[in-house]
Structure 1
Amino acid sequence: MRLVIAFLILAVLLVLPLLAPRFENHQPLVEYRQERGVSLVASDSGTTRYQTWGDWKKARKPVVVLIHSFNGYLETWEPNVDALVREGYRVVAYDLFGRGLSDRPLKPHTLDLFREQLVALRSTLNIDGPMHLVGASFGCVIATDYALHHPEQVKSLSLTGPAGFPDEKNAAQELAKKPFLGEYIFYYAGKPLLLSKLNSYLLNLEDNPWAKAYWKVYDSYPGVKRAALSTLRYSPVLDYTEGWRRLGKTEIPVQFIWGRQDSSFPYYHRRVVEKLIPQAEVVAIDSAEHWVNVDQPRETHQAITDFLRGIR
């Protein structure tokens, strides 16, 4: 009898990760958004939360679009927004699918999916001219992919703490691709895994307690772990080499801003940038981890605005 019970428990533990997505309750997320009156845009795959700053009635400079990291949310740009607005830019940031207060679609999280978000956002906000895209980590990959597909809509790329540089010691993506194993790992250990990564993004997380506070709120809604696994499986989070190579064959102005202490995608990957993207400007910032724009917001802002001022 004990053997039968043990077998049944094991069977449930093995099957649960595969069935869980069908039973996700997203109504609390919908209600949370409604209570706070957040700005939303709809596309074929779901609803995206976004926020704008600056004077959108008087078009002066191009719009700056901020695209957060793999494990982030739009508030990670708060240390940088005011400075960009003072420079006269209209600014918009949004939550990627599966993150923050955006929907968690039950479909592969490919670059096509993330491109769809930006297309819908651009249409909703009636952005008719070229945009400056500013990415963080995986947001750099999304920004570059969008620029490669819509070069006429992108004026420049500013890529902070960029992802997409393979490292032999990082086997996470290969592990995630394995059938069932990835579901099992992320279902039972996804939250501590993602939280441990968050803890490594800043040199001193205690200096920015809001970073973890926001994350814990958004992680409490179903679908975050599933979206993270799907993104690792279907998007080039850890290896965007081919995309960087294609970017190097364009004339799109691009800069990379790297924290010298970045442990997620270390600064030594600048050698790949120098080789594949000859037009790229590389800026190194001291005392900064992966979220360089949060660790050193003033230096990051200065680098971005200096770069933007030089673009005609």
Structure 2
Amino acid sequence: MKKWIFSIFVTAIVGIAIFFVESDKHVSVKEHHRADPADRFHEGQTGITRYRVSGEGKTVILIHAFNGYLESWDPNVSELVKAGFKVVTYDLWGRGLSDRPLINYELADFRIQLREIVELSGGGSVYLVGASFGSVVAADYALHYPDQVKKVVFIGPAGWPGDTGNEDAFLALPFFPDMIFGLFGRQIIEPIVEAYLHDPKAHQWAIDRWSEYASLPSFGRVALLTMRNSPVRDYTEGWSAFGSLNKPNIFIWGKQDISFPVENSIKAKLLVPNTKLIEVEDAAHWVNIENPRIVNGAIIDFFGL
């Protein structure tokens, strides 16, 4: 019994140490990982963002998921470029090789980052594609800059509340969740990421790449703060406001999605009545990875040339 209590005590001390070390500094991680020659790094008002630009034509900006990263769009970029688009991908704050700044990770923080990406892409009109939480970022950006955004594609969109009472109560606790995520953030989230894929073994590269980035400093802090302060699980008001905007859009949903199940499309059609729904078989949350042929074709057809 004494050994058990001692182990808990040591774990708590380590967690406290990690929490204070990670919570009081801006972390830049690009030196922790060998960058690809195609990578570009922009130092903006909040920190350094990694991004890539491919092709020429209409500007299409791809915004990855909560647990995504720039390379999660690899199954899509080349086909969009072949179709005549300029494709821009980037890492959201705290993901991939973008900085882990000392911010609250509110939706406004991601909007400011996307604004800088739009400016880096040449400004003017853009076409947005969001995956999961990236869909929330895309919708929010369209609401704040409606004249800039021509059309939007939402892939496996987040922001549909379910039975999350216990999760919300846990996240609202002071200090304890910070310690747990500081110690075990990667281990907590890894099975969630695996469930993003209907057939994880067929796309092991996506999980392995996530694991690489999740091993970099401050991963747990960023994940926790984003869940606490951004509408990852409940963007109902935002979806309703976007629906009122009457901006051309489509939803693409994996029929085996267990993160935000396709049944949420019923709510989507009510809140965004001018939308079109595309359901994809044999695909879970990361639809663009599991069935890029359908996703790429839908994007190309919808955006046109």
TM over 0.5: yes
Aligned to 1:21: 22
Question: Deviation of residue 6 (structure 1)?
Answer: 8.0
Distance 1:13 1:297, change over 3 A: same
Aligned to 1:133: 128
Aligned to 1:58: none
Q: Distance in 2 between matches of 1:34 and 1:76?
A: 15
Contact persistence 1:97–1:103 (CA under 8 A): yes
Question: Deviation of residue 18 (structure 1)?
Answer: 3.3
Q: For 1:218-266, what per-residue CA distance to the aligned partner results, in whole angstroms no more than 9, with x for missing partners?
A: 1221011111101001100000000000011112111100001100000
Structure 1 position 122 matched with structure 2 position 118: yes
Q: For 1:61-93, what per-residue CA distance to the aligned partner results, in whole angstroms no more than 9, with x for missing partners?
A: 420000000001011111011111111000000
How many residues align structurally? 304
- Partner of 1:44: helix, strand, or coil? coil
2:147 to 143, 152, 166: 152
Aligned to 1:108: 104
Structure 1 position 41 matched with structure 2 position 37: no
Q: Distance in 2 between matches of 1:205 and 1:158?
A: 24
Contact persistence 1:109–1:227 (CA under 8 A): yes
Task: State the AA in 2 paired with 1:114.
Answer: F
Q: Distance in 1 between matches of 2:289 and 2:171?
A: 29
Aligned to 1:221: 216
Aligned to 1:172: 167
1:273 to 268, 272, 290: 268
Task: State the AA in 1 paired with 2:220.
Answer: K
Contact persistence 2:152–2:250 (CA under 8 A): yes
Aligned to 1:255: 250
Distance 1:22 1:256, change over 3 A: closer
Q: Distance in 1 between matches of 2:270 and 2:263?
A: 12
Distance 1:298 1:174, change over 3 A: farther
Aligned to 1:187: 182
Contact persistence 1:21–1:106 (CA under 8 A): no
Contact persistence 1:80–1:301 (CA under 8 A): yes
Q: Distance in 2 between matches of 1:308 and 1:5?
A: 60
Q: Distance in 2 between matches of 1:150 and 1:165?
A: 23
User: Could you list the runs of 5+ residues in structure 1 that have no partner in the other structure?
Assistant: 56-60
Q: Distance in 2 between matches of 1:141 and 1:150?
A: 14
- Partner of 2:85: helix, strand, or coil? coil
Aligned to 1:53: 54
Aligned to 1:72: 68
Contact persistence 2:129–2:155 (CA under 8 A): yes
- Partner of 1:163: helix, strand, or coil? coil
User: Could you list the runs of 5+ residues in structure 2 that have no partner in the other structure?
Assistant: none
Distance 1:137 1:5, change over 3 A: closer
Q: Distance in 1 between matches of 2:250 and 2:7?
A: 56
2:296 to 282, 301, 304: 301
Contact persistence 1:25–1:222 (CA under 8 A): no
Q: Distance in 2 between matches of 1:213 and 1:97?
A: 20
Question: Deviation of residue 132 (structure 1)?
Answer: 0.7
* TM-score using structure 2 length: 0.92
- Partner of 1:63: helix, strand, or coil? strand
User: How large is the Cα RMSD of the aligned pairs?
Assistant: 2.5
Question: Deviation of residue 151 (structure 1)?
Answer: 0.4
Task: State the AA in 2 paired with 1:118.
Answer: L
Contact persistence 1:74–1:95 (CA under 8 A): yes
Aligned to 1:234: 229
Contact persistence 2:255–2:282 (CA under 8 A): yes
Comparing 185-194 with 263-272, which one deviates more in the overlay?
A: 185-194
Structure 1 position 286 matched with structure 2 position 281: yes
Q: For 1:34-85, what per-residue CA distance to the aligned partner results, in whole angstroms no more than 9, with x for missing partners?
A: 6867301121111000011113xxxxx4200000000010111110111111
Question: Deviation of residue 197 (structure 1)?
Answer: 1.0
Task: State the AA in 2 paired with 1:180.
Answer: F
Q: Percent identity?
A: 39
Contact persistence 1:29–1:221 (CA under 8 A): no
Task: State the AA in 1 paired with 2:159.
Answer: G
Contact persistence 1:191–1:225 (CA under 8 A): yes
Task: State the AA in 1 paired with 2:66.
Answer: F
Contact persistence 1:17–1:183 (CA under 8 A): no
